[in-house]
A and B are shown apart, each in its own frame.
Chain A
Amino acid sequence: GQQVMQIPQYQHVQEGEDFTTYCNSSTTLSNIQWYKQRPGGHPVFLIQLVKSGEVKKQKRLTFQFGEAKKNSSLHITATQTTDVGTYFCAGRNNTDKLIFGTGTRLQVFP
């Protein structure tokens, strides 16, 4: 079945450093979504990418969807302590299922 892997599993950074998480699917995706889950909380939607090669920005966050629509990345510039949490990608292929990636847990040290 469809699998969505994320790397790295964990990332510890000093405040102000950049952070990137990568998402790879075993199948071509129709779209990809990104979510953030704070410790003890529930996932909150960040963005959706649909087009091949699409790049979207939200302040310090940059999201990319690969040309082959099988991978995606989230890059955070100059991390802050408020960025702490687990970042998940989630994608759909030609089925109706929304499959979540394994997640990357980000810890930011002040």
Chain B
Amino acid sequence: DGGITQSPKYLFRKEGQNVTLSCEQNLNHDAMYWYRQDPGQGLRLIYYSQIVNDFQKGDIAEGYSVSREKKESFPLTVTSAQKNPTAFYLCASSIALNTEAFFGQGTRLTVV
């Protein structure tokens, strides 16, 4: 069953702790993305990757880090430097940068 999987669905962390959100796809897509969505807001681009071992900053990369060591995986680390980490995080992938994006179910992160 092909698709893009994010885990976990809900995540709680204490303030000051780093946390890593998982994103895995078995669609053989080259491009992957991380977006942040706040209540009632649009999607803001955090990081994106066109190909393995390469990634670029989006519009709100500060306080986040990513890696792309494997084609299937694009984990996002929310560091303690991120001032307002509580949000809904969406991972997406696409065959190439100018094709439709497929989204995962999202991870709702709450930092207390």
Number of interface residues of B (CB under 8 A): 25
Task: Answer whether A100 and B42 are a contact pair too, CB < 8 Å, given A30-B98, A92-B97.
Answer: yes
Q: Is the CB of B43 within 8 A of A88?
A: yes
Of B63-71, B73-81, B102-110, which stretch is located at the interface?
Answer: B102-110
Interface residues of A (CB under 8 A from B): 1, 6, 30-31, 33, 35, 41-45, 48, 88, 90, 92, 96-103, 105
- Can you add 6 more A-B contacts, CB < 8 Å, to A48-B99, A97-B48? A41-B105, A45-B101, A88-B42, A88-B43, A98-B33, A101-B42
A96-B54 Cα distance, complex, nearest whole Å = 13
Interface residues of B (CB under 8 A from A): 33, 35, 40-45, 48, 50, 56, 58-59, 90, 92, 97-106
Q: Which of B58, B99, B101 has the most CB of A within 10 A?
A: B101
Q: Is the CB of B59 within 8 A of A43?
A: no
Partner of A45, one of B33, B35, B48, B100: B100
Q: Is the CB of A33 within 8 A of B100?
A: yes
Q: Is the CB of A98 within 8 A of B90?
A: no
A48-B95 Cα distance, complex, nearest whole Å = 14
A48-B101 Cα distance, complex, nearest whole Å = 10
A31-B96 Cα distance, complex, nearest whole Å = 13
Q: Is the CB of A92 within 8 A of B43?
A: no
Could you name 20 residue pairs across A and B whose Cβ atoms are closer than 8 Å? A31-B98, A33-B100, A41-B105, A42-B106, A45-B100, A45-B101, A88-B42, A92-B97, A97-B48, A97-B59, A98-B33, A98-B45, A98-B97, A98-B101, A99-B59, A100-B42, A100-B43, A100-B44, A101-B42, A103-B42
